Amino acid sequence: MTFDRAVISILKEQISAYKMLLELLKKERESLVNFDAEKVEEVSKEKDTVVMRLRLLEEERVRLIEKFAEDNNLSCNINLEKMAKHTGDDTFSVLRSQMLSLLQSIDDMNKFNSILINRSLRYIRTTTNFFNSFTTQHIPQTTGVLLSKET
């Protein structure tokens, strides 16, 4: 397999993983709206796994592109647009636009989920403060001795 084909293969795997991440973010949003803490934790673990996979794929993609640039005497700052021009393969441009679209969707979903999390935390703080207002006023701070009368 040539380096350009290997890069295309890695890009397709990355796109697939980004789609999985987007779906997980949608599940996370649903769990946050439903206040399902267990589901949020489960989704978080799945997200960690996908993100780890994406890191590995990105490292491999960078390695392959650097090797491609070295073999073809190109500058080290080669990107997908330059690869498309150099190879004459429009697949790089198509994959690049798909990745950009997915990354924008992920960013938007992540921002939305962040807002939901912040609102949930604010709700929890408010509720906790409400309950604390009752307990601190009605529970004496000193300890005493309980006496009983026997007849």
- List the domain boundaries for the chain: 3-137
pLDDT score for 137: 57
Q: What are phi and psi of 7, to 5 degrees?
A: -65, -45
pLDDT score for 136: 57
Distance CA(46)–CA(52), nearest Å, equals 10
This prediction's pTM: 0.79
Distance CA(109)–CA(47), nearest Å, equals 13
pLDDT score for 151: 54
Residues 6+ apart with CB under 8 A from 94: none
Distance CA(131)–CA(134), nearest Å, equals 5
pLDDT score for 87: 87
CATH number of 3-137: 1.20.58.300
Name the stretches of the chain with pLDDT < 70: 1, 76, 136-151
- Residue type for 34, please? N
In the chain, DSSP finds a helix count (H) and a strand count (E) of 4, 0
Q: Answer whether 83's CB lies under 8 Å from 65's CB.
A: yes
Q: What are phi and psi of 105, to 5 degrees?
A: -65, -40
pLDDT per residue as tens digits for the range 101-128? 999 999 999 999 999 889 888 888 898 8
